[in-house]
């Protein structure tokens, strides 16, 4: 079991994340931002990992700091769960449709944080959240976790595009973090991440 708990408190946010990549998709998310809770729930549930997220942020300002810092803390939790990378699958991908929308996530959990985010939402907000924060969330998480991620989405309905994106990322993350059978192998020609 690779249960990880990470806490981060700043003047803007107070966040606790519990992550178990060997879980079954048990999820409890309370960020104070209902649509974002829905997205994180979909990501973990479909990814098959357990996730608890309790966040209190300066929502009177806006939701930016809360969502950004959840990305940071979740990235830190993923990095701890990866450890030295011994035994994990490392690479994974998923392509997920949702009605007229489709999203792709291709991940390498090999220690190099990078994000390529391809797609555009049609509206300035989704679920009362500025649409540009979703790219920033994935950027914050990937750079902290050491994940190279290429994500892409298209469609007409912003809710469908966003949800397909979170589901695809969650499924790929769950697979990349899964144990590959030989728990001694580090999948790297360098011998380490």
Question: Distance (Å, rounded) from C-alpha 27 to C-alpha 42?
Answer: 9
Question: Distance (Å, rounded) from C-alpha 115 to C-alpha 179?
Answer: 24
Question: Distance (Å, rounded) from C-alpha 76 to C-alpha 5?
Answer: 9
Q: Which CATH number fits domain 4-177: 3.90.1150.10, 3.30.1490.20, 3.30.230.40, 3.40.640.10?
A: 3.30.230.40
pLDDT in tens, the chain (193 residues): 589 999 999 999 999 999 999 999 999 999 999 999 999 999 999 999 999 999 999 999 999 999 999 999 999 999 999 998 888 999 999 999 999 999 999 999 999 999 999 999 999 999 999 999 999 999 999 999 999 999 999 999 999 999 999 999 999 999 999 998 777 777 766 666 7
Contact indicator for 162, 39 with CB cutoff of 8 Å: yes
pLDDT number for residue 105 = 98
pLDDT number for residue 192 = 66
Host H or E run for residue 165: helix 158-177
pLDDT number for residue 61 = 92
Computed from CA positions of residues 82, 43, 48, 57, in that sequence, does the dihedral angle turn out positive or negative? positive
SS (H, E, C) 23-83: CCCCEEEECCCHHHHHHHHHHHHHHCCEEEEEEEECCCCCCHHHHHHHHHHHHHHHHHHHC
Residue 122 CA to its chain's centroid (Å): 22
Its pTM stands at 0.95
Question: Distance (Å, rounded) from C-alpha 31 to C-alpha 64?
Answer: 12
């Amino acid at each position: 079991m690779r249960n990880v708990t990470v806490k981060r408190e700043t003047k803007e946010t107070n966040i606790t994340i519990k992550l178990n990549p060997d879980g079954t998709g048990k999820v409890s998310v309370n960020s104070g931002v209902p649509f974002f809770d829905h997205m994180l729930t979909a990501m973990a549930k479909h990814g098959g990992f357990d996730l608890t997220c309790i966040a209190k942020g300066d929502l009177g300002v806006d939701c930016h700091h809360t969502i950004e810092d959840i990305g940071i803390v979740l990235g830190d939790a993923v990095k701890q769960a990866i450890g030295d990378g011994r035994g994990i699958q490392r690479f994974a991908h998923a392509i997920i449709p949702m009605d007229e929308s489709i999203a792709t996530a291709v991940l390498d959990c090999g220690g190099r944080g990078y994000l390529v985010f391809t797609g555009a939402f049609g509206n300035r907000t989704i679920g009362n959240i500025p649409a540009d924060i979703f790219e920033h969330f994935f950027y914050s998480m990937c750079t902290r976790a050491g994940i190279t991620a290429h994500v892409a989405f298209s469609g007409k309905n912003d809710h469908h595009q966003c949800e397909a994106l979170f589901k695809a990322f969650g499924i790929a993350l769950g697979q990349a973090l899964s144990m590959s059978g030989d728990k001694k192998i580090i999948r790297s020609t360098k011998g380490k991440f």
